[in-house]
Structure 1
Amino acid sequence: MIELELTSLVDHLCDHTFNFYWHEKELEPDSVIPSQKGTEYTYRQLVDELKRGEDIHIKGSVGSRFAYSLGVDLAHFGGTGKTENAGRIFVEGNIGPEAGMAMSAGTLYLTGDIEEPLGNIIEVESDEEGYRKFISITELLCGSRSAAPLKNSFDAGSRKLVLNDGILRGTLASRCNCDAEILVEGDVYNGTGLLMEKGTITVKGDSGLNTGAHLNGGNVVVEGIVGEFAGAYMKAGFLLFNDAKGYAGAGMLGGTIYCRKKIPPAPPAEKKRMGGSDSSNVRRLTGAGRVEAMLYNKYEAGEEKAQYIKVKMRDGSIVMRKVD
């Protein structure tokens, strides 16, 4: 168990993605965490402790991007990309925005509040007196642990979760690999359905950047407008929305994008002809009538994907740069 006390807010704590780039600066996981009182732990030590399934106790509030990708054996670092063991984190204080982004396992306990947007986490009934408890939404849907969410509805038998608490969340259902259903009665933040393999997400409002990014199966349905780079690097599944703020389908390898309005596709995505099976897909996902379903636009991967490379930004956005 690791215990530390902080005298000021620190970002990136317990961040499994810590040596990605952030604002064009590489972050060093072996550097000592600043603002510690009486200890000299590094960022990597906290992550390694969590990977061993151990507890971490933090006295004081923490900053943004807390517990990023907690419980994921990241492929970026040579891992499987799947969920792995993760310990518990106790925070005596508040937690900043974007906590639990792409989180798949582990538990967050805190005495204070979490600033929106949240990541792929949900508050459930606590088993630790004096602490609020948050777990991964993916683990709630697909894991073996039973938990009762607060302010939301979850049917464990059908694996159906209704999110109506008005909280803005990102990377919703990240890496979901079971036939679960999520209904969001409002808007969502960036990365909805990230690396999702199975299940269906229906968003009654709008969504942010990278909706359906790296989608690898399942369905993501947004009844409103999606942000830029929807469907980036899709491999399989269906992404459906009403309209988009910018390009969609960047680096797309497979799957299908349906949009009620015409949008500018990013290579290699290109507009395709709607067929009978496409109409059936749209009707199944939206409940639209036969004629209305045929009015949707269809986009799939074309032949130009090798001409572009991706540049990952640490805030979740993706920039496509053409190879000269």
Structure 2
Amino acid sequence: MLKIRMLKPIDNLCDYTFNFCWNDSKLQPEDVIPSQEGTSFTYADLVAELKAGRDVCIDGNAGKRLAYSVGTDLKHLGGTGGAEKAGNIFIEGDVGPEAGMGMVSGSLYIKANIEEPWGNILEMTSDVKGYRKFRSITDLLANGPGKDMLKNNSLTENTLKLNDGILRGTIGARSNWQGTVLVEGNVYNGTGVLMQQGTIMIKGDAGMNTGSHLDGGTVVVHGSVGEFSGAYMKDGRLAFINAKGYVGAGMAGGVIYSKKKASTSPPAAKAKLEKDDIEFIRKNMETGRVESMLYNKYEPEKEKEKFVTVHMRDGSIVMRKI
């Protein structure tokens, strides 16, 4: 086990994405973690330990975004984009918000409190005395609870019901489960990101990036969604009442439904509702047939044929396809 003593909370510990360093260079893998006592571990050292299936112990409090995307073989770092096994993380203190965002495997063992919003994690009965145990929702759906038992929520064969009132983000990240995740309340950012199969139903509002990179699953929100929802969708369906910002940026496939007219970013564009769309809306948004027919549908707009104006010698004008 790698053990690091922290003199104060530091953000992005055990973060597989290295705080998105490829985008803004705020954090580099080889950077030495500040405020550690007696060691000089880098951010990459902690990640390498987890990737090798070994455990990491943080003696002290952890800051924001602990264990971001743990268990993911990230494409932007040369991986497959799929899930892989990971070691466990032990925290001898408190944990800041957004812990376990995008997390797909491994477990968190926390001695004290964890601040909301949480990420893609659920609290389980602990098998280590003195620690609270948390597993990723994606791992739970893919592999089952095993000897663990859910605390304050329930899992049947086809439905995971979350009604503990905890605000969570990236619920179902990269999930490929055929059942339904039902959330009785609001959710944070990134619900259903990169989900391939299954349904997430939110009986409340959702945050930014809802259904972003959706790749075959279904995300239904019985309230509003935030900015960038449906961005970079490849496949699947996203439905909501209204959007607080632009939707569909860079989407390559899939369908977005909105009760209220939504502002779209290219290539998302208005499309015609078909019979199966209306049936989907009736079933999932719990509406009548007439109300379902009033929904707006958005799909990636097919690239329009481009023409160039050619002036002929006789003075006429011809439009030629490029």
Q: What is the TM-score with the length of structure 2 in the denominator?
A: 0.91
Cα distance in 2, alignment partners of residues 129 and 256 from structure 1? 47
Cα distance in 2, alignment partners of residues 22 and 65 from structure 1? 17
Cα offset, 1:236, TM superposition: 0.6
Letter of the structure 2 residue corresponding to residue 68 of structure 1: Y
Corresponding position of 2:220: 221
Give deviations 1:239-266, integer Å, cap 9, x for gaps: 0000001111000100000111111111
Say if 1:148 and 1:154, in contact at 8 Å, map to a contact too. Answer: no
Cα offset, 1:26, TM superposition: 3.4
Cα distance in 1, alignment partners of residues 179 and 112 from structure 2? 30
Corresponding position of 2:201: 202
Letter of the structure 2 residue corresponding to residue 282 of structure 1: I
Say if 2:12 and 2:19, in contact at 8 Å, map to a contact too. Answer: no
Say if 1:19 and 1:29, in contact at 8 Å, map to a contact too. Answer: no
Letter of the structure 2 residue corresponding to residue 153 of structure 1: S
Give deviations 1:38-88, integer Å, cap 9, x for gaps: 111111010000001001111100100100000000011111111001001
Cα distance in 1, alignment partners of residues 21 and 37 from structure 2? 28
Cα distance in 2, alignment partners of residues 174 and 3 from structure 1? 28
Cα distance in 2, alignment partners of residues 304 and 225 from structure 1? 30
Identity of aligned residues (%): 56
**1:38 to 2:38 alignment:** yes
Cα offset, 1:303, TM superposition: 3.3
Corresponding position of 1:286: 285
Corresponding position of 2:309: none
Cα distance in 2, alignment partners of residues 5 and 218 from structure 1? 41
Question: What are the ranges of 5 or more consecutive residues in structure 1 without an aligned counterpart?
Answer: 306-324
Instruction: Considering Cα pairs closer than 8 Å and 6+ residues apart, tell me whether 1 or 2 has the greater RCO.
Output: 1
SS at match of 2:223: strand
**1:115 to 2:129 alignment:** no
Give deviations 1:174-216, integer Å, cap 9, x for gaps: 0010102111111100100000001111111101000000000
5 Å-filtered alignment, 1:143-154, equals 143-146=143-146, 147-154=148-155
Say if 2:21 and 2:28, in contact at 8 Å, map to a contact too. Answer: no
Cα offset, 1:37, TM superposition: 1.1
Cα distance in 1, alignment partners of residues 224 and 160 from structure 2? 22
5 Å-filtered alignment, 1:175-186, equals 175-186=174-185
Cα offset, 1:21, TM superposition: 3.7
Corresponding position of 1:316: none
SS at match of 2:89: strand
Give deviations 1:285-312, integer Å, cap 9, x for gaps: 223222221111100001359xxxxxxx
Cα distance in 2, alignment partners of residues 58 and 79 from structure 1? 27
Over alpha carbons, which structure has the higher Rg?
2
| CA spacing shift, 1:266–1:96, aligned 2, 3 Å | same
SS at match of 1:234: coil
In the TM superposition, structure 1's runs of 4+ consecutive aligned residues that sit over 3 Å from their partners are 21-26
Corresponding position of 1:18: 18
5 Å-filtered alignment, 1:163-182, equals 163-182=162-181
Cα offset, 1:33, TM superposition: 1.0
Corresponding position of 2:272: 273
| CA spacing shift, 1:304–1:246, aligned 2, 3 Å | farther
Letter of the structure 1 residue corresponding to residue 199 of structure 2: T
Corresponding position of 1:132: 132
Say if 1:138 and 1:173, in contact at 8 Å, map to a contact too. Answer: yes
Letter of the structure 2 residue corresponding to residue 151 of structure 1: N
Corresponding position of 1:5: 5
Question: What are the ranges of 5 or more consecutive residues in structure 2 without an aligned counterpart?
Answer: 305-322
Corresponding position of 1:192: 191
Give deviations 1:260-287, integer Å, cap 9, x for gaps: 1111111000001111121112123223
Corresponding position of 2:52: 52
* Aligned alpha-carbon RMSD (Å): 1.5
Say if 1:66 and 1:98, in contact at 8 Å, map to a contact too. Answer: yes
Cα distance in 1, alignment partners of residues 143 and 177 from structure 2? 9
Corresponding position of 2:236: 237
Letter of the structure 2 residue corresponding to residue 113 of structure 1: N
22-31 vs 68-77, greater mean Cα deviation:
22-31
Cα distance in 1, alignment partners of residues 219 and 205 from structure 2? 12
